[in-house]
Amino acid sequence: MSPARLVAYEVLQDVEERDSYANLALPGRIRDAGLDARDAGLATELAAGALRWRGRYDRIIELSAGREIERIDARTRTVLRLGAHQLLGMRTAAHAAVNESVELQRRVGNRAAAGFVNGVLRSIGRASNDEWDARIADAATSANDARAALASHPTWIIRALQDALRAEGREAELDALLAADNDAPRVSLAILPGAGVSVAAAALAAAESGATATGPSPLGVEIGAGDPARAITASGARPGYARVQDQGSQLAALALTRVRPVRRGERWLDLCAGPGGKTAVLGAEALAAGARVRANEVSEHRAELVQRSVSGVADAVEVVSFDGRSDDAYGGEAFDRILVDAPCSGLGALRRRPEARWRKQPSDLPELTRLQAELLRQATAHLAPGGVLAYVTCSPHLAETRVTLDRLLRDHPELREIDARAVVGEVARSEIDLGGASLSVQLWPHRHGTDAMFIALVERRATGA
């Protein structure tokens, strides 16, 4: 049996049983199994593809098996999902996909169910993707049920995405967005200011990895293939000045640092800093302009990740670990710029963390929005007169974006919203298509090639203003 398939199975079980994130579980499993680059790529595609398309594959398995997916043993479900992905999502020969899946079932699951796995996968393999889509549509209980299964997104998430697009007058883009969520994202690097090499030169130096200076962020370099670590080394950037980072995340940090010219001696705060990507951008910008950054992260483990992330710009960054709702997080200071990259549902990163769509529930939102409001309220109390606060979430859900922001502005008349659209438009490498008419920015995977990052800027009116 292929060791890559066993690794993919173990990763899916880590996700199912231990609430692991696949992108964090994969490297350790690959390393422990001693997979070479080819098998590591196969394991990654198997695990990520089975997670992205789980909703669709589950419906196909139900139609093939004649029973509800929850009535199938958990280990056997995982084997069937991996087999379905090989049959319908990869170029694996049908006999190999079935035989390997049967062997996997015998090794990790109920051996008596090997015949069941064989029968279900042979049934799946007898129809094409188009034929299965037609069967899914015919068996669906409603149009929403069909769309949820075909696009492999829970219905409540589809509705949330639809509402957010409708707010921009772009509801017709829903299917394009769902498709983008199911595409593997290209890897982006951030080449930080002070790297000792221009972004264009860094991309040219790493051309062997398919690197190009493209995308909306002026710091961004996309790589097409290969090991990101190798591309970082080849870029020629100073140690700690090149890192893997989504370009939406890069733009969110740059919106705060470049909203206006920086005065030397400014004090900045990254309130929810872990794992440190945006902190690194803030630190590089601060170091170049003579500002200082306090990076706070409630989790001590994640605070250590922040410390490692800012290794190249450590002279400008102080890392602390407190609850962002406590005064300790602020060290008794008022800040000229505050980034509140609040904990959220993560619906904006479903292409990067596909398991999140199956893990999150609508019932999670009230607690998250309450936390977001509490963090914003405390941050506002520590924003200096004339200071700017950036509210950022990796979610397009309106409850976590405009609703939370509008409540903050209503409760704090001393704040006024700044035109983040204009700021991001100035910062972006090229013209950027932003929908809607609000002052805030919503980025999208299908339109911008980034995570669905929300960015808003507010200013505390100066005393007497």
Binding residues: 272-278, 297, 323, 341
C-alpha separations of 144 from 147, 158, 159, 173 in Å: 5, 9, 9, 16
Closest of 399, 390, 392, 373 to residue 453, by C-alpha:
392
CA gap 428, 251 in Å, rounded: 7
Q: Which two tokens stand for residue 442?
A: 């919503």
Which 3 state secondary structure label does DSSP give 223?
A: strand
344 assigned to active site = no
Answer yes or no: are the C-beta atoms of 60 and 136 closer than 8 Å. Answer: yes
Closest of 424, 362, 432, 430 to residue 390, by C-alpha:
424
Query: What's the distance, CA 10 to chain centroid?
Result: 22
Catalytic residue among 394, 428, 441, 458: 394
For 22, list phi and psi in degrees, rounded to 5: -60, -40
Query: What's the distance, CA 396 to chain centroid?
Result: 12
CA end-to-end span of the chain, whole Å? 71
CA gap 339, 182 in Å, rounded: 30
CA gap 266, 292 in Å, rounded: 6
Helix, strand and coil in the chain, % to nearest 5: 55, 10, 30
Q: Which two tokens stand for residue 9?
A: 């199975």
Helix (H) / strand (E) containing 361: none
Helices (H) and strands (E) in the chain, counts: 21, 11
Relative to beta strand 454-460, strand 415-418 is: antiparallel
Which 3 state secondary structure label does DSSP give 287?
A: helix
Q: Which residues belong to the annotated binding site for S-adenosyl-L-methionine?
A: 272-278, 297, 323, 341
CA gap 166, 465 in Å, rounded: 36
Q: Which two tokens stand for residue 375?
A: 């963090």
What residue ranges in 297-349 does DSSP mark as E strands? 317-320, 335-341
CA gap 188, 191 in Å, rounded: 10
CA gap 345, 323 in Å, rounded: 19
In the chain, the amino acid numbered 268 is W
| Secondary structure (H, E, C), 291-309 | CEEEEECCCHHHHHHHHHH
Q: Which residues are catalytic?
A: 394
